[in-house]
Amino acid sequence: MSELSRHNEIVALVNEKGMVKVTELISYFAISPATARRDITKLDQEGRVKKVRNGIMRLEEVKPIWAPIDNHNTDHYHEKARIAIRAAKLCNNDENIVINCGSTAFLLGRELCGKNVSIITNYFPLACYLIEHDHENVIIMGGLYNKTQNIIINPIVSITDSYAGKWMFTSGKTLTPTGLYKSEILGAVAEQQILEKVENLVVVVDSSKIDKKANSGMLFCPVNKIDILITGKQANKDVIEYIKEQGVEVILV
């Protein structure tokens, strides 16, 4: 048997058993102690097995921390992260938190993961993240999964009566003096179904989305329906002042 073939069989054996002693290798492959030690050292250096006292162990697969967004593929990532951190401070233990789709909303969900709150969401990537990271209370709003938008759309309005929350966090395409606009109509309609079931609506958008008018999209809600706005310090000052005049609490980060 060639060295390469023996090494492949050693790796297969240790993957099957979890751990193999040096004496087992010597007996199983009819090799000398010196050859067994050389094989172990080489396989360990190649990262195919883990060298331990008197033998080798199977390498346990390290599951990467998954997230649909990061600072390499998300515009204004660091500002959105600051917004999420500040938004998370609004939430207290034992509260029901509704989090809708969007990159900033996802970052908020990531901040709340592991804390003593119930998270209600129809955003599939966020639900997957929370479940994979063992968040205690995840409530996924039922309905039809829309692959394009990564959300679950509820076709039956009465079902949303089952959901209620202290806070609802949402984002959108543009926030103007008129209100919050969203580009995905199906998603916006799905969110509107639960809007009246929450105590506080918090809009979390980065400063680039604060503008005097919206060029496109659907009006999700007028400004006077928003309780709190959390955005970046670079947001349009004139629009921010108008929004404040409508009774909205504005938090700049």
User: What distance in Å separates the CA atoms of residue 140 and residue 99, rounded to the nearest whole number?
Assistant: 10
User: What distance in Å separates the CA atoms of residue 160 and residue 142, rounded to the nearest whole number?
Assistant: 9
Beta bridge partners, 198, equal 165
User: What's the pLDDT score for residue 138?
Assistant: 94
User: What distance in Å separates the CA atoms of residue 95 and residue 117, rounded to the nearest whole number?
Assistant: 5
89-100 pLDDT tens trace: 999 999 999 998
Other beta carbons within 10 Å of 68: 15
Q: How long a stretch of residues is the chain? A: 253
pTM for the whole thing? 0.70
21: exposed, middle or buried (Cβ count in 10 Å: 0-12, 13-18, 19+): middle
User: What's the pLDDT score for residue 122?
Assistant: 86
Q: What is the pLDDT along the chain (253 residues), one digit of tens a residue?
A: 788 889 989 998 998 899 999 999 999 999 999 999 999 999 999 889 999 998 999 987 655 555 666 655 677 888 999 999 999 999 999 999 999 888 899 999 999 999 999 999 988 899 999 998 899 999 988 777 777 777 777 655 555 556 678 999 999 999 999 999 998 887 788 788 888 889 999 999 999 999 999 988 999 999 999 999 999 999 999 999 999 999 999 999 9
Per DSSP, helices labelled H in 1-102 are: 3-17, 22-29, 33-45, 77-88
What is the sign of the dihedral through the CA atoms of 4, 10, 16 and 19? negative
